[in-house]
A and B are shown apart, each in its own frame.
Chain A
Amino acid sequence: MLCFAAILACLLVAAPAHPQKEKREPLSESQIEKIREAGIDPNERITLYTKFLDEHAETIKGLTNRVRSDARAHRLDGELQDFTSLMDELGSNLDVYSERKADIRKALKPLTEASQRWLGMLRALAGEPAFDLSRKEAIESAEDLADDSKRMENEQTEYFNLHKDERGQDRAEPK
């Protein structure tokens, strides 16, 4: 009984000491506010995500040019994780809008161009052990996003050429 109590006490004491993974928030308060203002508008939302991702890409590029240090590597690791999580979030939004047949051609064009740029920037970033995993994950997400964006752009061009009456819609209406 005493032994059990001792083990339990050890577990209780040890639990909070276990290092917890830092929870990251890829969007700032003002960016969240802008998303809130965009509300339900698909083009507006995709344009905002593209802009925020561009800002993150600029930060990563800026860090790439700095002298190598532990602080730089740590910062790059975090920035790359944020970048990946935002790209994944945008990818999941694109899936929803695509299912709804929302006309997002206006936002897709700049996204397709930007995602190619991001991919180039990530591939040019020389890997280091401290952020190599984050870099690989970011490249995978950027590849997926670039492919999805390009594919959707083609699909949407074809679809809205065939369904001219649905151009500019936020979702397909039941007919």
Chain B
Amino acid sequence: MRFAIPAVLVFLSVTTVPMRASGFDDKVFDQQSIDLLAAKASQAQPREQCFLYAELVHEMTEFSVQKYAAGDVEKAAELLRQIQGLTHKIHLAVAEDSKRTRNTEILLRHTAFRLTGLLHSSSFEDQSLVAETLAQVNQVQNEAMMQVFRK
């Protein structure tokens, strides 16, 4: 019973994952916007950092998907490795603020959805890196979700 509410919410969050790219991906992502966001995230106030790093992970995921589709597998893989480093920063910065944490969780869920798409479309030799990245994003998404429940 103790786990009933989180279990229902996990189920709901999994089943309500957007079926296609929505407003999150309307923007065009490039290295310049990623660099700007990285600078903004690192100098931001600690309370803001969690969401900004989640935003950065999302932008880098989208850019990685673009690069992979364009055949630049090396750049796509480099971005995924960088994302893995950033998930640790999200873990450290998961905020106590419920609204910000909720937004972070939604964005990470969408990012995980995009990575799942990439996992299915990538070639066999690239799949382990994508799967590892996806696992880390899932982990911080769960953490953000549990933080929301704690409130």
Contacts and interface: CB of A to CB of B under 8 A. Distances in A.
B42 A40 contact: yes
Contacts of B131: none
Contacts of B94: 171
B47 A40 contact: no
Q: What size tier do the contact residues of chain B reach? A: 10 to 19
A39 B93 CA distance: 11
A36 B93 contact: no
A32 B43 CA distance: 7
Interface string B93-104: 111100000000
Chief secondary structure at chain A's binding surface: helix
A97 interface: yes
Given A171-B92, A174-B146, A36 B39 contact: yes
Contact of A96 (B43, B46, B146): B46
Chief secondary structure at chain B's binding surface: helix
Interface of B: 39, 42-43, 45-47, 49, 89, 92-96, 143, 146
A35 B43 contact: yes
A92 interface: yes
14 contacts: A32-B43, A36-B39, A37-B42, A40-B42, A40-B46, A40-B49, A40-B92, A93-B45, A93-B46, A96-B45, A100-B96, A171-B94, A174-B143, A174-B146
A170 B46 contact: no
Q: What size tier do the contact residues of chain A reach? A: 10 to 19
A171 B47 CA distance: 13
A100 B94 CA distance: 9
Contacts of B96: 96, 99-100
A55 interface: no
A96 B92 contact: no
Of A37, A39, A45, A100, which is in contact with the most chain B CB atoms at under 10 Å from its CB?
A39
A89 interface: yes
A174 B145 CA distance: 13
Contacts of A32: 43
A127 B143 CA distance: 51
Interface in A26-59: 32, 35-37, 39-40, 42, 45
B47 A96 contact: yes
B36 to A, nearest CB: 12
Given A99-B96, A100-B96, A174-B146, A40 B89 contact: yes
A78 to B, nearest CB: 22
A39 B38 CA distance: 10
